Amino acid sequence: MVGAYFAIAGASGTHASAAELTLCWAAWDPANALVELSKDFEAKSGNTMKFEFVPWPNFADRMLNELNSGGKLCDLMIGDSQWIGGAAENGQYIKLNDFFDKEGIKMDDFIPATVIGYAEWPKNSPNYWALPAFGDVVGWTYRKDWFSRPELQAEFKQKYGRDLAVPKTFAELKDIAEFFQKRQVDGKTVYGAAIYTERGSEGITMGVMDVLYSYGFEYGNPKKAYELDGFVNSADAVKGLEFYKALYDCCTPPGHSDAYMSEDIDAYKSGQVALQMNFAFTWPGIHADANVGGDKSGYFPNPAGPTGVQFAQLGGQGISVVAASDKQKEALDYIKWFAQPEIQKKWWALGGYSALRSVVEDPSFATSQPYAQTFLDSMAIVKDFWAEPSYASLLQASQKRFHDYVVANQGTAKDALDGLSEDWKDIFEDEGKY
């Protein structure tokens, strides 16, 4: 248990001897904000922070290899939400329940979806392996300045019988994407939407699931674990996958067949597209961008499906203490420091997405940034991919099935989802789930 590994320093934050801690995460803008934030921890604790940041396409392979090999590179890991099951069952993260109890850190103080998504294993049980560190969710960015042009508003209303405005449904979103596809704006050819299509890591799965949830896809029978047929490949799920392919075929920019976060950002910031699917972490950078920032861009949550159901793909991560570390005491000091409300407020101010309810439920939060309300609305409708120990195999299967259908034009949506259901059943059968 955790209790054997720590003795939190007193209020002064001093240590008999300073330690050098290494925190491992992905290489992206929030990581740079965390480096800045962590200077406060260094000053108060006397410890030194090192950081190992790996680009997203290589992050999972690099860090899961580190965990699986029992490597000592990382003392603290901000690992993806899907890793929790494997890291818990394989003894790669230390369990934090005793530590949380001793330090008065309450999971009720965090956004419920982030506790389930980032901290719990098994899901919906009070067993915690991480502290929610970075709330994230797939949402949308749009060219607010293009939407507001009178001539475009008039043309759109004549064609579709409604205002050119933030879409409430996926059908409305596709209309907007089609409207802008290959349109001339300021003498430049623009396109409808940048969406996720990447094959190598997790991109197309994050994009497809973002749509399928709102069409009625379920990971299985809520009443019988690992019963997949009729849920993964339901008629509604098939319609959702057909929609995603139709959106890809009609309305993406040229060469967008292997695109994930950075490619969508590039397409949007360069002025190629009217709409961008991407995680909320991109919004501060968009708001600050010289070309598309300020009042030129707006933000909206994932739209609803045909029946009014509305969900969004959860992103984000929790922060864990790596079991192989010989500096667990100091690593727990870091988590205690990071969990403080005043530090979480600074985290949001620097560009991190705090999951602490006292931060996001503060009356001033919703108006603190142009995208803050969209973040709140999006985090209220999240679902997540499998967090099973076999997550990597489950993900490889969905990446192949979705990319083969959506991008490579192989088979039908029903073929893809029937095949995916069989793939997943085979994985669970190998694990002894049946």
Looking at residue 300, what is its pLDDT?
Answer: 98
Looking at residue 9, what is its pLDDT?
Answer: 38
- pTM for the model stands at 0.93
Q: How far apart are CA 434 and CA 185, in angstroms?
A: 56
Q: Which mean pLDDT values do the consecutive 10-residue runs of the chain (434 residues) have?
A: 36 60 97 98 98 94 96 97 96 98 98 97 97 98 98 98 98 98 98 98 97 98 96 98 98 98 97 98 96 98 98 97 98 98 97 97 97 98 96 97 98 98 98 94
